[in-house]
């Protein structure tokens, strides 16, 4: 498999740094904490860690409001400690990916402070400033993804500035060549320190309509949805010019060897595919979020897999995501009894999988009392289900109360105790053990990494597909229902099953029983 790039062979493990491991007792995870747990990640079998933002920030949006792109926030550590983490990870054979947040900065970033200081400042055009409408109101109807208008009035200079998210997160003007050069310098700063790639935040939002036209109303809007869903984002997302920026980022990374560019892009499949670039010169992997909101039904998932794979350009490498810091945890979405099936699905589909910390032990969404809510998305639009705190609760390392081995202090969010690494690591029947077995299976079977995917189908609650390479053919069968079912085969042997005692057992010619919630991988 050596001809594949590392990110095509590998498995990515996402760390939300505030919640992974606290080393100094302040209740917030940090870089030394991550470094201390890298051995756990290598033992799990992952190949790379992606670390959510760790830059200096006022933390209005917990690091996605960047005040300095070329340093580390003191709550996470120092630049020297980051370098130590990278070096340690590389010694262990792990790659390190950083979150890159180029769409907006903090309003406390020196660039914005200069930009808002006067209309004549050279950095004024680094952000999106507009005169008010004739009635004195916002320039157009664009809405913030955090609620309310996307325009904030600046009394001192008599103009509005645009913010797709919080007012503390003004959007950069990516039509300005100086902005592009400055952000290219940011990429180089971290690449020079050994970073192996970037996940680019809200990549599809970087360019806005040059004419600042009103977004049209959304005829499918339903009451109770986030406010910005009232409008179609026709002029505030996925503009044609964004692809030039993606190509430029990719070219910069290419100068440093085998680096990876991953884009956060929430778009329908057809539009998502354009981010690979017409000649494979776009993002290496536009994140595929199809599984995050899919109905957990065999027929629906089969159709989703077929549609995604058939849409891939010839030069494109697929990828799959089951959980992240912005969506409810998989065990809460589909139920703990199906978490094992989900693990087999994620780690046997064709393409690069991304694991979200804690999903490997079946962490569920945490209970966040009203007085413990921290997420601005929930504080600004309460009651509509936008709060992301539940999926960001601290990693549950052990069963100690009240902090689960995460911190010796008061955790920034409540820690769950229903399960932990310690209770699962020596249990051969645990979900953690299943993840380790699956990752080992990937390493030992080329069909699961470089093989094709074929015969994707569903019968009742059972989803099946095959992974094939050279003479090896693997059947994957997943019972996504709550009743026993059957799967047909032409004989073979079970390499891995979520049902205890079935590994190594023969798969009969004809009909085979599949227990409720069972998933298996068989050589056929």
Give SS3 for 487.
strand
Angle subtended by helix axes 431-444 and 339-348, to nearest 10:
20
Q: Are 77 and 39 in contact (CB under 8 A)?
A: no
Q: Annotated catalytic sites, by residue? A: 201, 255
**Cis ω for the linkage preceding 210 (within 30 of 0):** no
Angle subtended by helix axes 242-254 and 177-191, to nearest 10:
30
Q: Are 313 and 273 in contact (CB under 8 A)?
A: yes
Residues 6+ apart with CB under 8 A from 274: 243, 282
Burial of residue 125, with CB atoms counted within 10 A of its CB: 0-12 exposed, 13-18 middle, 19 or more buried? middle
Q: Are 42 and 93 in contact (CB under 8 A)?
A: yes
**Which helix (H) or strand (E) is 12 found in, with range?**
strand 12-15
Q: Report how far residue 262's alpha carbon sits from residue 124's, in angstroms, rounded to the nearest whole number.
A: 30
Q: Report how far residue 435's alpha carbon sits from residue 451's, in angstroms, rounded to the nearest whole number.
A: 20
Residue tagged 């995501």 (tokens): 321
Given the DSSP bridges, would you call strands 95-100 and 462-469 parallel, antiparallel or unpaired? unpaired
Q: What is the DSSP string of 273-299?
A: HGGG-TTS-S-SEE---GGGS--S-HH
Residues 6+ apart with CB under 8 A from 268: none
Structure-block tokens of residue 89? 């990870």
Alpha helix (H) ranges present in 335-456? 339-348, 376-380, 421-424, 431-444
């Amino acid at each position: 498999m050596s001809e594949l790039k590392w990110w095509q062979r590998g498995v990515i493990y996402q760390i939300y740094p505030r919640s992974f491991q606290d080393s100094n007792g302040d209740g917030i995870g940090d870089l030394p904490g991550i470094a201390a747990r890298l051995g756990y990640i290598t033992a799990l079998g992952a190949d790379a860690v992606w670390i959510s933002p760790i830059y200096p920030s006022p933390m209005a949006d917990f690091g996605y409001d960047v005040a300095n792109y070329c340093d580390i926030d003191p709550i996470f550590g120092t630049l020297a400690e980051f370098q130590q983490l990278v070096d340690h990870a590389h010694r262990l054979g792990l790659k390190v990916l950083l979150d890159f947040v180029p769409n907006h900065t903090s309003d406390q970033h020196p660039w914005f402070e200069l930009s808002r200081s006067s209309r004549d400042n050279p950095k004024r055009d680094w952000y999106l400033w507009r005169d008010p409408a004739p009635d004195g109101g916002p320039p157009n109807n664009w809405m913030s993804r955090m609620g309310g208008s996307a325009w904030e009035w600046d009394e001192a200079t008599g103009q509005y500035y645009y913010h797709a998210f919080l007012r503390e997160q003004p959007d950069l003007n990516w039509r300005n060549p100086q902005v592009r050069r400055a952000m290219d310098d940011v990429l180089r700063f971290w690449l020079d320190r050994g970073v192996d790639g970037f996940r680019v935040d809200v990549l599809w939002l970087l360019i806005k309509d040059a004419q600042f036209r009103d977004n049209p109303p959304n005829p499918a809007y339903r009451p109770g949805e986030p406010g910005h869903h009232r409008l179609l984002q026709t002029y505030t997302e996925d503009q044609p010019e964004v692809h030039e920026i993606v190509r430029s980022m990719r070219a910069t990374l290419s100068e440093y060897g085998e680096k990876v560019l991953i884009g956060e892009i929430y778009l329908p499949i057809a539009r998502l595919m354009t981010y690979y670039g017409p000649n494979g010169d776009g993002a290496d992997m536009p994140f595929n979020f199809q599984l995050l909101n899919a109905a957990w039904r065999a027929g629906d998932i089969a159709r989703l897999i077929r549609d995604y794979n058939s849409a891939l350009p010839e030069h494109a490498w697929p990828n799959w995501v089951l959980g992240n810091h912005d969506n409810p945890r998989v065990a809460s979405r589909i139920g703990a009894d199906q978490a094992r099936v989900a693990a087999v699905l994620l780690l046997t589909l064709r393409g690069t999988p991304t694991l979200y910390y804690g999903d490997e032990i079946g962490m569920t969404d945490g209970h966040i009392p009203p007085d413990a809510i921290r997420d601005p998305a929930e504080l600004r639009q309460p009651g509509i289900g936008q709060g992301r705190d539940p999926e960001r609760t601290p990693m549950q390392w052990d069963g100690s109360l009240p902090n689960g081995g995460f911190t010796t202090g008061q955790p920034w969010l409540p820690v769950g105790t229903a399960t932990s690494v310690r209770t699962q690591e020596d249990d051969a029947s645990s979900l953690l053990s299943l993840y380790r077995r699956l990752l080992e299976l990937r390493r030992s079977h080329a069909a699961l990494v470089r093989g094709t995917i074929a015969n994707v189908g569903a019968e009742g609650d059972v989803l099946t597909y095959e992974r094939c390479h050279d003479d090896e053919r693997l059947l994957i069968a997943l019972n996504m229902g709550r009743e026993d079912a059957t799967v047909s085969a032409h004989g073979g042997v079970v390499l891995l099953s979520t049902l205890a005692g079935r590994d190594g057992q023969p798969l009969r010619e004809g009909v085979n029983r599949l227990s409720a919630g069972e998933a298996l991988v068989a050589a056929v």
